Structure 1
Amino acid sequence: MVNLNGNLTDKPDFSVYNRGLNYGDALFESMRVIHGQEMFWESHYFRLMSSMRILRMEIPQSFSPEYLLNQIKLTLKANELEHKPARVKILVFRKDGGLYKPDTREIDFVITCSELDSPFYKHHDIKCEVDLFKDHFVLSGMLSNLKTTSKLPSILGSIYADENDLDNCILLNEKKSVIEFTNANLFLVKGNLVKTPPLSDGCLKGVFRSELIKIISKMDELTIEESSISPFEIQKSDELFMTNSIQGIQSVSRYRKKEFKNGIAKKLVNKINAELRLTEKKVI
């Protein structure tokens, strides 16, 4: 069952003139739910509202945090997932009509969900080999910070990884700076310094990225820095890992001939799970 504009259905009615399909005129939020509690909900909600404003979408008066939370819970219940770990996706797209210039700025929305295998984040000690994707670049700037459906570099980078027996690829901007993985934000560790690309370089404004930056900034043993990263820096780093709201933190084991450790990544997974458990206790 999916939730289309507040109506639960197993047969959503989509037009071939859907603007998300025709023009990529859409954006989305993906979040993790544990025991009926939406993780980092406030951050996801405000990113959604901010993104809709930037794309000049008309935000419905009903789109309060309480309304959307209720729609998520109804969707989870309809899929018998209200007491299970789940992935929830909110897709927002402008209503049909027009060509590049839309006939209206009003929107439709769809909420979908699927079950996850674990309520909390896990660090997987698995092979994860990556390389640069240099065929196409992500432009630096505000639009690249948004989680829109216009993600061709990520799609082509994922195909490139599959064709070359890689587990993921690192995307670059037009200045040849490292910005992110195909489906995740990027962090590297050198000594006690943790670096991640700045939003101005064109990386996604990830919710998990923001939460992790907050956590690291409170740790005496680590320093966090948002600054441009060159491909050369990757080979000089001790650790390299990817982050998003669904998988949490996944360490990279190898980049070309460089092999990485994962001690800091494991420590951060434990830190963020501890934060989530505290949040869960407060809610209960």
Structure 2
Amino acid sequence: MINFNGNIVAKDTNLLTQNRAFLYGDAVFETVKIVNSKILFLEDHYFRLMSSMRVVRMEIPMNFTMEYVEEQLLSLVSDNDFSNSSRARITVFRNDGGYYLPQTNTVSFLIHVVGIDDALYSFSEKEYEVDLFKDFYVTKQLLSSIKSTNRMLNITASIFANENGLDNCLLLNDSKNIVEAIQGNIFMLMGNRLITPPVSEGCLNGVMRKQVLEIAKKIESLEVVEEVISPFDLQKADELFITNVIKGIQPITKYRKKAFGVALSKILQEKLNGIVSDL
């Protein structure tokens, strides 16, 4: 028997009592965008998921091929009639048993999907204000670069942003440098240099981050580098923008008293949509 919201109920009616993802955050996940029954950047998502599972020492099932994962995602999308445009999340969690030390490294997975309006990435020039989140810091370690279900820092930062009328917050690492935004990687344009923090700073190894880096490196006269970004650099920047696989590119228009342009963000979004249209 267990107590659930003040009621004594049979233990086997609540599957969460032994679920390691719920009890310990012992899970990793990938969120993908699906357009016209095609998973955007499938290979990148798949190999990041496999890498995340290896980092946390999960046992990868023999049948967990890229084709199998693709089939499982697309079958659920089809069953829900979300084939035109949708976002799907696959969460892989270690099976029940044990406390901090698991009794097994075998895994199960859960997929859920929701429909979204836009197949292509839309560009918004509306005011988008950010500030720094200083209550907690991202640590410069390998675990920070994978998508685990331990997202308490991102949750508390989201609450902070909402309470202060902000659209987003920029997260800092334990060296007090800019790492990323709450739900995406950060890019900064300064003159002809496009800068994003290296993964070694503790930022997520984002799939869209990779796409934007590849696109930007093909633009003549633009120098693309992975370098540390300090909070002081933000005041000297010409543009700031956030990237993730669902939104694409989100330009930041304001940080404290500093306003930013959106010209490069718009160019990159157009080139990104060109890639999506050709898939």
TM band (smaller chain): over 0.9
- What amino acid is aligned across from residue 194 of structure 2 in structure 1? V
Unaligned runs of 5+ in 2: 1-13
Shift of residue 93 of structure 1?
0.6
User: Would you say 1:246 and 2:246 are equivalent positions?
Assistant: yes
> 2:98 matched to which residue of 1?
98
Deviation of the 1:214 alpha carbon: 1.0
**When the two structures are superposed, what TM-score results if normalisation uses the length of structure 2?**
0.94
* Counterpart in the other structure of 1:57: 58
Q: How does 1:35-46 map to 2 (within 5 A)?
A: 35-46=36-47
Match of 1:7 in 2: none
RMSD after superposition: 1.2
Paired residue for 1:168?
168
The answer on 1:206 being equivalent to 2:206 is yes
* Percent of aligned pairs with the same amino acid: 43
Q: Gaps spanning 5+ residues in structure 1: where?
A: 1-12
Residue identity matched to 2:198: P
How many residues end up aligned between the 2 structures?
A: 267
1:258 shift after superposition = 0.3
Q: Which amino acid aligns with 2:21?
A: G
Task: String of CA shifts for 1:73-93, please: whole Å, max 9, x gaps.
Answer: 1101111112x1000111111
Q: Post-superposition shift, 1:127? A: 1.4
Task: Tell me how far apart the structure 2 counterparts of residues 274 and 168 of structure 1 sit (CA, whole Å).
Answer: 27
Task: Map Cα deviations across residues 176-218 of structure 1 (whole Å, 9 max, x no partner).
Answer: 0100001110001011111000000000000000111111112
- What SS does the corresponding residue of 2:16 show, helix, strand or coil? coil
Secondary structure of 2:100 counterpart: coil
TM-score, length-scaled by structure 1: 0.92
Please tell me whether the aligned partners of residues 91 and 111 of structure 2 are also in contact (alpha carbons under 8 angstroms). yes
CA distance in 1, matches of 2:63, 2:203: 31
Deviation at 1:15, TM superposition (A): 2.9
Q: Within 2, Cα distance between the matches of 1:96 and 1:268?
A: 44
Residues of 1 paired with 2:15 and 2:59: CA distance? 20
Matched residues in 2 for 1:256 and 1:192: separation? 23
**8 A contact 2:16–2:22 mirrored in 1:** no
1:77 maps to which residue? Answer: 78
5 Å matches for 1:159-238? 159-238=159-238
Aligned 1:87-166 pairs, distance under 5 A: 87-166=87-166
How far does residue 240 in structure 1 lie from its aligned partner after superposition?
Answer: 0.5
Report the AA paired with residue 70 of structure 1: E
